[in-house]
A and B are shown apart, each in its own frame.
Chain A
């Protein structure tokens, strides 16, 4: 369940960013997660729900951009989509391939909103 650690890391990255941005909140976060990043999305979802309450991401809308995995064949130079780390090259059947995409684990962007000033309370 390393997904919990990953969510903690996401929270830390956001805290760093928001440190110097008083009066702002994160309305949306976009993550890029490759299909071969080693992240189980169900576990990630569970970890997110467990870890974010009480943090600056508690009310943030989360978007996940899935990145399809691709490998490059070192023998015939073709680039192809893979579902597993060990998928062979469809052109020549070679296993000697290099994964070029699909292992991403990134915070792509944050969309910030401005915290509305609290209405002043007047004593009656």
Chain B
């Protein structure tokens, strides 16, 4: 029995109960020599099961988990550094870093005194729920903490994979095109809040914040936005306030 979340194994979950249930619901019929199994099974069902398991683990600990998604280079790690330094070492913040290669991001986060686990996905372009589950087994989280999961920089693939997070946060930087929401709609549609980063560069780039918001609202009309610069700290307070509000919601 694993001490982290009470599941039966140290590196994967047993799904025997789930499999039995699903197979008993199948409708079988035979056509002479052939047999048809009517499955109607979600291809992502295994990921979603593990995501639910992670979510339950977070709920039991009172942890709030944020899945940070964006293109590469939007400033996710810089935002995390600024966030952790502002919140101080006594806040129970934890970080899971996802990258294809290297421990560079984890090393940066470690300097901010936060416990961090780096996942190297190798060739994979996204984090999935089982990777998070395995990372959680390496991390002893105290109750009522905040977990930041920095996904692999990619505006496409991570959209499909529920990690069990409480909220999904999409980050866009003003050096990207302001039409990103309609080019990568799944990511914006699946996110709960959108951070517009690097606003200190707005005078130098053709990015229109209004146009960007208009596109994002086409995809997700109820989208919330926070404009900030992780580098200069401008607007960071709004983000920290939002985190506090979300913490209040979970408690």
Contact = CB atoms under 8 A, between A and B. Distances in A.
Nearest to B189: A85
B39 A96 contact: no
A111 B37 CA distance: 6
Contacts of B45: 9, 13
A112 interface: yes
Contacts of B37: 17, 109-110, 112
B43 A2 contact: no
A9 B215 CA distance: 33
A95 B35 contact: no
Interface stretch (B90-98, B120-128, B139-147): B120-128
B39 A107 contact: yes
Nearest to A20: B23
Contacts of A6: 43-44
Interface in A5-39: 5-6, 9-10, 12-13, 16-17, 24, 27, 31, 36, 38
Interface in B137-178: 156-157, 159-161
Interface string A81-97: 00011101000000110
Secondary structure type dominating chain A contacts:
mixed
B19 A16 contact: yes
A66 interface: no
A78 to B, nearest CB: 16
Nearest to B19: A16
A25 B198 CA distance: 55
Nearest to B185: A85
B128 A17 contact: no
A86 B36 CA distance: 38
B78 to A, nearest CB: 26
Interface in A78-124: 84-86, 88, 95-96, 105-114
Nearest to A12: B46
Interface string B165-203: 000000000000000011001100100000000000000
A12 B45 CA distance: 11
Contacts of B241: none
Interface of B: 19, 23, 33-47, 124-126, 128, 156-157, 159-161, 181-182, 185-186, 189, 215, 217-219, 221
Given A85-B185, A86-B182, A110-B39, 11 more contacts: A2-B126, A6-B43, A6-B44, A9-B45, A27-B34, A38-B160, A95-B221, A111-B34, A112-B35, A112-B36, A113-B34
